[in-house]
């Protein structure tokens, strides 16, 4: 996915130093992820590389979080001297969010495709820096990947996997787009809209890490407590689990896009997202009963 998108970008995206730094960061993550898939690198080394990629984005591509917007209704929340550390933490967090949720076929790729499609809808031709072309290339690469990952045409295509190399690059690229086009002179959407566009990976990593810390484990210690594991433990098949999570993410993204394009209020959008987040927490709290209800619903629709 990285190789084809990067190669095509050389022909269809205007050349710039900012694009060069972003491609360099993606190449670094792809290489690190590939080595990690083979040799299982220590998480501290992965975090270091992710932080370096964030720095390439901040100083090379001039992309960083400057403000959270007017999410509390008291005025724009400027980050000031906290801009750089918060940006690095945000990039690392979202890279690992897309990496950690990549637990069943099609999940990380499907979530990414929904988010990238929404970004293309929001950006369109409003920015003349080739961003829409990059998003189209990503949509094409993700669609091709999902066809083979889900083995839709088993007679004609091999089954391939994304691995850390793919999921980390997707998390980084999506985060770079969300930050770049919600801040400063290139702002075309509210910062809070970015939360809607990565709703499922964001909420999953937050809840999973908090649960691990409460049980005295490292937040980077792998286990089977992600949202897709919960559904499968309740008896849903992998296919149905994938459909439920992608449907939920599609609804969340759609709500975010509608709030962005109609109301365009940071405060109202943030309130709605907070409601969604607390509803998600309640679902996780009663996840076994909720997933059982979903399983019965799937049986009735057959």
Binding residue positions for Mg(2+): 99, 164
Residue 67 forms beta bridges with which residues? Answer: 78
Query: What is the rounded radius of gyration, in angstroms, for the C-alpha atoms of the chain?
Result: 19
CA–CA distance, 54 with 48 (Å, rounded to integer): 10
The 8-class DSSP code of residue 261 comes to I
Pair of tokens at residue 198 = 């990565």
Angle at the Cα of 285 (from 203 to 302), degrees rounded to 5?
A: 85
Angle at the Cα of 158 (from 154 to 161), degrees rounded to 5?
A: 115
**Other C-beta atoms lying within 10 Å of the C-beta of residue 270:** 23
Query: Where is the binding site, in residues?
Result: 99, 164
- Direct distance between the N- and C-terminal alpha carbons of the chain, in angstroms, rounded to an integer: 35
């Amino acid at each position: 996915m990285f190789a084809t998108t990067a190669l095509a970008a050389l022909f269809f995206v205007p050349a710039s130093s900012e694009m060069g730094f972003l491609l360099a960061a993606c190449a670094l993550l792809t290489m690190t992820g590939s080595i990690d898939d083979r040799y299982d690198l220590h998480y501290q080394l992965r975090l270091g590389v992710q932080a370096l990629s964030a720095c390439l984005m901040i100083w090379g591509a001039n992309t960083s979080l400057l403000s959270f917007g007017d999410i509390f209704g008291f005025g724009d929340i400027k980050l000031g001297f906290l801009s750089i550390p918060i940006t690095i933490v945000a990039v690392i967090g979202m890279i690992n969010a897309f990496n950690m949720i990549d637990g069943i076929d099609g999940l990380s790729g499907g979530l990414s495709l929904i988010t990238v499609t929404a970004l293309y809808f929001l950006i369109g031709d409003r920015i003349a820096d080739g961003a829409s072309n990059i998003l189209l290339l990503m949509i094409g690469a993700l669609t091709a990947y999902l066809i083979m990952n889900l083995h839709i045409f088993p007679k004609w295509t091999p089954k391939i996997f994304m691995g850390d190399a793919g999921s980390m690059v997707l998390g980084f690229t999506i985060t770079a787009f969300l930050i770049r086009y919600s801040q400063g002179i290139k702002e075309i959407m509210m910062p809070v809209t970015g939360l809607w566009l990565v709703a499922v990976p964001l909420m999953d990593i937050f809840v999973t890490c908090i649960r691990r810390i409460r049980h005295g484990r490292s937040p980077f210690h792998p286990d089977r407590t992600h949202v897709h594991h919960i559904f499968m433990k309740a008896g849903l098949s992998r296919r149905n689990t994938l459909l439920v999570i992608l449907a939920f993410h599609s609804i969340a993204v759609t709500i975010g896009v509608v709030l962005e394009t109609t109301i365009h209020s940071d405060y109202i959008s943030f309130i709605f997202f907070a409601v969604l987040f607390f509803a998600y927490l309640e679902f996780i709290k009663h996840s076994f009963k909720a997933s059982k209800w979903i399983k019965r619903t799937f049986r009735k629709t057959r």
